[in-house]
Structure 1
Amino acid sequence: MLGRALAPLHRFAEAVAALLLAVIFIAFIVQIVLRYVFNWPVGWTTELSLAAWLWLVLWGAAFVLKDDEEIRIELIADRAGPARRRVMTAVGALGVLVLFGMSLPAAYDYVTFMKVEKSSYLGVRMDITYSIYIVFVVAVLVRSLRRLVRAVRGTLPAPGTPGVTSSSP
């Protein structure tokens, strides 16, 4: 039921990612045309591409990537029994929660401090550019908390379940 309610939000997140990819591609083409056709090198296209790439990667990791699409190396966990796998999953999720949770205040301080800087060509405040990192960290924390709860409750999908990737052969 929750999946159906979130489906439109997931499609929106995918559309934003596609738009960011289009921005990168268009900026790349504009840069080539301006540089090699008109002999007019510009820097704003590179700046725009880099900012869009940063947003694309972190936005995609936060909102587009599904749990079963994440890359995890679970060579040991896949060979363990269900109880040990749950413990390993819980410990891993707890580790991510602790480390990202500890980093969040410093990351927030850094991003808010960057309001004093602007990008060279476009003049965009750097706190706006880097704000996606805070969104990404919060999304990682929520996902890890959900994974921890699922591990503790014993509701993790078994390895080999359709739609669940596994690192074992």
Structure 2
Amino acid sequence: MPDRTTRPAARGAWENNKYFKVLSKGLWALRRLVDAIALMLLAYMAVAILAQVTGRYVFNYSIAWSEETATFAQVWLTLLGAGIAMRYNQHVGVDVLIRKAPRPVQQACSAASFALGAWFLGVVVVGSLSMVGIGLVVKSPALRIPMAIPYMALPVGFGYFLLEFAISSLPRILRPEGPSDTGEAAA
């Protein structure tokens, strides 16, 4: 029977590493920043739409910029929200059969899933950078700002999603849950 007391010590030694501490604090700060930005975007959307509706139906005046900025805020919120949902494991996943498989199969499936997901997100991040470049010369209709600003939501949002995807996937690859190596239920 393997000695289970060595695993927590190894984890503790890793967590005492100064680089790990710096990365952990940086990740914590990044997550708080993304949460704050998402909250501000949601609040802004509510205020902008309320201003648009009030202006249109009370004062018979349409505020052109409010609809456009609320749309941009919604795009940013959606893409940042995908990363936030990944952090809390809120995306849909079908793993009923994988959980019943032996650990080597679980690890292989998790590794394949991570490789495909990371490849896709990487392609989207790199591909969206050309869109940002195009957006430097295109102006938005109402605000006349470069469309690169709203287009930046793609590489930033999908880049954050990729980071959270990697953080949530790597433990499943390195230490999957479920049955033992023989395929039997763990005692």
Q: TM-score, normalised by structure 1?
A: 0.78
Give 1:111's aligned amino acid: V
Distance 1:69 1:49, change over 3 A: same
Q: Is the 2:126–2:155 contact (alpha carbons within 8 Å) kept by the matching residues of 1?
A: no
Can you list the C-alpha shifts for 1:13-63, whole angstroms capped at 9, x where unaligned? 211111100000001110111011001123221111100001111122235
Query: Which of residues 107, 110, 119 is equivalent to 1:89?
Result: 110
Can you list the C-alpha shifts for 1:115-148, whole angstroms capped at 9, x where unaligned? 1111111122111111121112323333444456
Structure 1 residue 100, shift from structure 2 partner? 2.8
Q: Determine the structure 1 residue equivalent to 2:175.
A: 155
Q: Determine the structure 2 residue equivalent to 1:165.
A: none
Q: Determine the structure 2 residue equivalent to 1:162.
A: none
Q: Determine the structure 2 residue equivalent to 1:62.
A: 83
Any unmatched runs of 5+ in structure 1?
A: 160-169
SS in structure 2 of the partner of residue 22 of structure 1: helix
Query: Which of residues 40, 48, 67 is equivalent to 2:61?
Result: 40
- Tell me whether 1:28 sits opposite 2:49 in the alignment: yes
Q: Determine the structure 2 residue equivalent to 1:163.
A: none
Distance 1:29 1:147, change over 3 A: closer
Q: TM-score, normalised by structure 2?
A: 0.71
Which is worse superposed, 77-86 or 10-19? 77-86
Q: Is the 1:111–1:127 contact (alpha carbons within 8 Å) kept by the matching residues of 2?
A: yes
Query: Which of residues 5, 25, 33 is equivalent to 1:12?
Result: 33
Measure the CA separation in 2 of the matches of 1:110 and 1:12: 25
Measure the CA separation in 2 of the matches of 1:42 and 1:147: 42
SS in structure 2 of the partner of residue 38 of structure 1: coil
Distance 1:35 1:55, change over 3 A: same
Aligned Cα root-mean-square deviation (Å): 2.5
Measure the CA separation in 1 of the matches of 2:29 and 2:158: 22
Any unmatched runs of 5+ in structure 2?
A: 1-14, 16-20, 179-187
Identity of paired residues, percent?
A: 23
Distance 1:65 1:26, change over 3 A: farther
SS in structure 1 of the partner of residue 126 of structure 2: helix
Q: Is the 1:87–1:151 contact (alpha carbons within 8 Å) kept by the matching residues of 2?
A: no
Q: Is the 1:62–1:135 contact (alpha carbons within 8 Å) kept by the matching residues of 2?
A: no
Distance 1:13 1:105, change over 3 A: closer
Distance 1:93 1:81, change over 3 A: same
Q: Determine the structure 1 residue equivalent to 2:160.
A: 139
Q: Is the 1:93–1:147 contact (alpha carbons within 8 Å) kept by the matching residues of 2?
A: no
